[in-house]
Amino acid sequence: MATGSHRVAVIGASGFTGAELLRLCAAHPTFEVVVATGDSQAGTAVADLYPSLAAAYPDLTYAPADLAAADGCDIAFLGLPHGASQALVPELLDRVGHVVDLAADFRLRDEGLYPTWYGEDHEVPDLLADAAYGLPELFRPGLADAGLVAAAGCYPTASTLGLAPLLRAGAIKPSGIVVDAASGLSGAGRPPKPNTTFCAADEDVTAYGLPGTPGGSGLGHRHTPEIEQVLGTAADGASLSQAGDVSVLFTPHLVPMNRGVLATCYARPTDPTLDTASALGLLSDAYTGEPFVVVSERSPSTKATLGSNAAHLTARVDPRTGWVVVLCAIDNLVKGASGQAVQCANAVLGLDETTGLSAIGVYP
């Protein structure tokens, strides 16, 4: 385990994102995990639940949730289910230097969206304006020394990294955007569910969070407003004037693999002369110098990003239909969650964003 100058608390460390946080923190040269909580696993050794972490944490045991144990920490990561962070963050901000929340509790600026998309009012809406949105490649200026960071979700990360440069450049229309994305089973969390057991998920692909579902809200997947918010926002946090009213039809799919998100995004060009080379050029220009973004003509592969904090992007313009197609692959547990959180923590602490993170995937 790393022994450095920054004390770290991981609140909600027994889930997949929590385990990934522990793995990344162990490789970080200045992060020292001093407490890892997990109410459902309190008293269990980290190495017993996740033998992959045994070499780094031979003596660490999951503790019950007690915010006092995080007192004086430089960073507190929250890997909790949606809704749980709202009750903890106000007190935690007084106990630690910075909070990075991996859930959706502070991602949306409009408090009115929470009852609509998450089924309940926000408990501390006054903090929404204080939360920096944690997607450094698109919103780096807001991260410097931020007290509270809401790390971007996996689907919004993959889709907006591909679409935002084109929308900010005025190359695509803001309405009628379609995002078709697929995620590995780890995105559904560690606790077993009827549709994530081996027999249910193996050899099967299903779409979920569909709009217009009978008996549901009819709105679709809850990441939709986050995607729309990101696409309608400039790097400095102001509304993007050329975005107008962004509208996105988002359909996620569950596929039988452990990790990864592949987002295939469709938009209409504002200029009928836009071609593939120009679209790739806009992506390349937007991400020049970004250590975790790879833009190329290759079709992105989720396995190429496995275990890394990298996002692989490409674009095509179909001359027959006129559609612009942008594809992005990420590891949902790294760039889509825990790696993103560490990258944001590096940014708020004034460290190089690449510290403790790799852009190189594990293969095969």
| Residue numbers annotated as active site | 154
Question: In the structure encoding, which two tokens stand for residue 352, read together?
Answer: 């190089």
Total residue count of the chain as it appears in this document: 364
Q: Is the dihedral of CA 9, 12, 14, 19 positive or negative?
A: negative
The H or E element that residue 275 is part of is none
Quote the CA–CA distance of 114 and 105 in Å, as a whole number: 9
C-alpha distances in angstroms, 177 versus 128, 147, 242, 245?
Answer: 26, 33, 15, 11
**Amino acid at position 120, single letter:** E
Q: Collapsing DSSP states into helix, strand and coil, what is residue 197?
A: coil
Question: In the structure encoding, which two tokens stand for residue 31, read together?
Answer: 């992060």
Closest CA relative to residue 164, chosen from 221, 213, 112, 235 = 235
C-alpha distances in angstroms, 347 versus 41, 130, 133, 136, 293?
Answer: 31, 16, 12, 8, 17
**Amino acid at position 134, single letter:** G
